[in-house]
Amino acid sequence: MRITKMDAELRRSITTFLQNYVDKCRVMVVGDIMLDRYFYGNVTRISPEAPVPVNLIGDKKNVLGGAGNVAHNLARLGCKVYLAGLFADDHHGHLLMTKMQKKGIDVEGVLIGCQNTTTKVRVLGGHQQMIRLDFEETEPPAQSKIQEMLNYITKRLKSGLDAIILSDYGKGVCTENLCQQIIYEAHRNNIPVFVDPKGNDWAKYAGADYITPNVKEVGVIIGKNLPNDDELLRRSAKVIAEKYNIKSIMITRSEKGISLFQADREIHAPTVAQEVFDVSGAGDTVIAVFAAGIAGNLNVEDAIKLANIAAGVEVSKLGTYAVSKSEILSQCL
């Protein structure tokens, strides 16, 4: 569904931003970088060795996942993107680095620092996912690697950035020390910090400017199973803001779109109607596009609506997918 005539002012705002400002935005992504591998095949028989289907693979695809997918979304918008994280000197790591470099992502801050490159392998029969194989380690990296990343991030901050995104997938990179040092240094340089959170303790994100949980993640941090209800989410956002000193709580709400809660206002952006094929990676798209909008001086309301439009495009695709500037612009015609 394209933007309606009633949204002409929003259309002008988004179009102007994408055509004239987004390529000037400098955004750093720090977090858990992953490789998403897809193997596509067809099932025509059951194995004689065990009662399992035999999938004849006809195609495969490697895409950037986790913090890499956030960076990819920013790159497809046209932003200048800097990425910091860890990978291993293994086959998946080499595939990952080649992919990031081809996408035009600055990988100076991506260091060898783990035993296994985090990889998710999905095997599909037709359009049905049959199994997922995960290769990962979740131990915190060596302190020397944390310090090396911090040195790089501090240097890049001094060179100029417009936003920093912490993309935490719980794989070990986003330690409390790293997150707090980044938030401190970013604020010293008047740069906003955006967080895509993970886990049940958000103390490591304290002081961030924006945090983008989904409803389930809000429930985890509050300690109860929350329905997708405006009033309950409003109260929960207030608790989170006060406990962790986070100014803006932006909650992704599936079919109810996105809601942002601040001390003095709230903004609700309903879902942009699309046929939903796959929601994997939608959160990456939301935080990337929203942060780019704020970095490019869009007002908060328009940045949320821009992110919502991009998310509508993303969920209409199969698998992890980075939305391009042209795809968003096509929604404004």
Active site residues: 284
- In whole angstroms, what is the distance from residue 45 CA to residue 54 CA? 6
Q: How many CB atoms lie within 10 A of CB 299?
A: 12
DSSP 24-78: G-EEEEEE-EEEEEEEEEEEEEE-SSSSSEEEEEEEEEEEEEEHHHHHHHHHHHT
Backbone angles phi, psi at 138, to 5 degrees: -120, 10
Q: At what angle do helices 230-244 and 215-222 cross, to 10 degrees?
A: 60
20: enclosing H helix or E strand? helix 8-20
E strand segments, the chain: 26-31, 33-46, 53-66, 80-87, 106-112, 119-125, 128-135, 163-167, 193-196, 210-211, 248-252, 258-261, 266-269
Give Cα separations from 263 to 73, 235, 242 (angstroms): 29, 11, 10
Beta carbons of 97 and 110 less than 8 angstroms apart: yes
Give Cα separations from 254 to 7, 92, 224 (angstroms): 22, 32, 19
Residue 221 backbone zone (phi > 0: left; psi -120 to 50: alpha; other: beta): alpha
- In whole angstroms, what is the distance from residue 246 CA to residue 122 CA? 36
- The structure tokens 């909008």 sit at 293
Backbone angles phi, psi at 325, to 5 degrees: -60, -40
